């Protein structure tokens, strides 16, 4: 699916935000400042970018990085947030022995999910830094609005393909030891 990426948390002073945004423009797949977002401190920027890009971000202290390998992308391919009002970054922790089923459940649910909601899966990325017997993954999804993200929490309600997607998500949840989602407006 492509080359290794990094998820980084940058610490940025408010007066340096514009310089960091400009340094990442066109180079990061996703960059979400904590200011105005849900789940991040106001002095942080979450970045998903090709390896090496975050180290070149002027005015930012790299607080943490995690190397990621692309595992799967949504129906539109791996794309940046283009036109998205909000992007959700959801981390999953699970047993490495459950990875194949977790991946199949996710990918199998996406077509119905994307056709039911104004949402596009950017991709699912597996941590290279997390070692067996554990696995860690980042799912990045763009939404037309925060309201649409909230509406998608009902995934699986109804009948047909949406109900099947919900069944897959419920099983995926059973395999998940821990999850956290953060939602924000991308640059």
Q: Are strands 134-143 and 5-12 parallel, antiparallel or unpaired?
A: unpaired
pLDDT at 173: 97
pLDDT at 144: 92
Question: For the chain, which domains are there?
Answer: 5-184 (3.30.70.100)
- DSSP label at 73? -
- Which residue ranges of the chain lie beneath pLDDT 50? 1
Backbone angles phi, psi at 26, to 5 degrees: 75, 0
Q: What tokens does 147 get? A: 């309201």
Q: What is the pLDDT of residues 42-97, one digit of tens each?
A: 999 999 999 888 887 666 899 999 999 999 988 766 666 666 689 999 999 999 99
pLDDT at 59: 66
Q: Which of 159, 124, 120 is nearest to 142 (CA)?
A: 120
pTM: 0.92
Euclidean distance between CA atoms 19 and 25, whole angstroms: 10
pLDDT at 89: 96
């Amino acid at each position: 699916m492509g080359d290794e990426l990094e998820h980084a948390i940058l610490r940025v002073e408010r007066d340096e935000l514009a310089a960091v945004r400009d340094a990442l423009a066109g180079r990061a797949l996703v960059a979400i400042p904590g200011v105005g977002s849900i789940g991040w401190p106001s002095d942080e920027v979450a970045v998903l970018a090709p390896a090496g890009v975050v180290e070149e971000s002027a005015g930012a202290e790299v607080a943490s990085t995690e190397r990621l390998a692309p595992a799967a992308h949504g129906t539109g391919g791996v794309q940046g947030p283009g036109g998205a009002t909000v992007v959700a970054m959801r981390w999953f922790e699970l047993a490495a022995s459950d990875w194949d089923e977790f991946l199949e459940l996710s990918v199998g649910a996406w077509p119905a999910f994307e056709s039911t909601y104004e949402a596009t899966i950017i991709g699912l990325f597996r941590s290279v830094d997390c070692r067996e017997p554990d696995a860690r993954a980042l799912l990045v999804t763009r939404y037309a609005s925060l309201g649409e993200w909230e509406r998608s929490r009902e995934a699986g309600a109804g009948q047909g393909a949406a109900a099947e997607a919900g069944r897959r998500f419920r099983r995926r949840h059973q395999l998940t030891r821990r999850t956290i989602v953060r939602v924000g407006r991308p640059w």
